[in-house]
Amino acid sequence: MDKLIRKITPFLWFDNQAEEAMNFYISIFNNAKILKTSYYSEGGPAPAGTLMTASFQLEGQEFIALNGGPQFAFTPAVSFVVNCHSQQEIDELWDKLSEGGQKQKCGWLLDQFGLSWQIVPTVLETLMSSGDTEKSHRVMMALLQMDKLDIKTLQDAYDA
């Protein structure tokens, strides 16, 4: 039977930190693994033996990383949303992913490699789309005051 191939796989272009980044992400997520790697040979654009591409999986989502050189850089125009079921999960992912990076507003952070992440509680969608515009507005106002999102504060704003 043929291996299931996803139609869309995020492809991450790094200057020369693809292996370091992959190992960093693998160390953070509980359900993570390296799928395959390939290395540059003699005469390639990087020294022989340097990682060229790697595919890895985080929480069931496959990613491909490339050491492609300095031509391109990440921007916050593309980010990865991580839906979290508990405050503990938010706290752990926020702290680990932002290490060496930059904590930003509204649950966003920039990791040490320049990738943008949104660490979001799964309950946020329910709080924001209840149909009660007053409650949703209070939740949004609370969210706009936060860096790392706090489920209790968001729930309190909804219930106020």
Express each pLDDT in 121-134 by its tens digit.
Answer: 999 999 999 899 99
Confidence grade of residue 5 (pLDDT, cut at 50, 70, 90): low
In this predicted model, what pLDDT tens digit does every residue of 25-73 receive, in sequence order?
A: 999 999 999 999 999 999 888 889 999 999 999 999 999 999 999 999 9
Q: Which two tokens stand for residue 46?
A: 């990087």
Kindly report the pTM of this predicted structure: 0.91
CA 82 to chain CA mean position, Å = 6
H or E element that contains 135: helix 133-144
Using the predicted structure, report yes or no on whether residue 20 has a pLDDT greater than 90: yes
Domains in the chain: boundaries: 1-72, 74-160
Residues 43 and 125: their CA atoms lie apart, in Å, by 51
CATH topology of domain 74-160: 2,3-Dihydroxybiphenyl 1,2-Dioxygenase; domain 1 (3.10.180)
Fill in the amino acid letter for 131: G
The DSSP line for 16-85 is: S-HHHHHHHHHHH-SSEEEEEEEE--TTSSS-TTSEEEEEEEETTEEEEEEE--TT----TTSEEEEEES
Q: Do domains 1-72 and 74-160 have the same CATH topology?
A: no
Confidence grade of residue 3 (pLDDT, cut at 50, 70, 90): low
For residue 25, CA distances in Å to 22, 105, 125 come to 5, 22, 25
Instruction: Please answer whether residues 34 and 26 qualify as being in contact, where contact means their C-beta atoms are separated by less than 8 angstroms.
Output: yes
**With respect to CATH, is domain 1-72 assigned 3.30.720.100?**
yes
Closest CA to 90 of 76, 112, 109, 75: 109
Secondary structure (3-state) at 12: strand
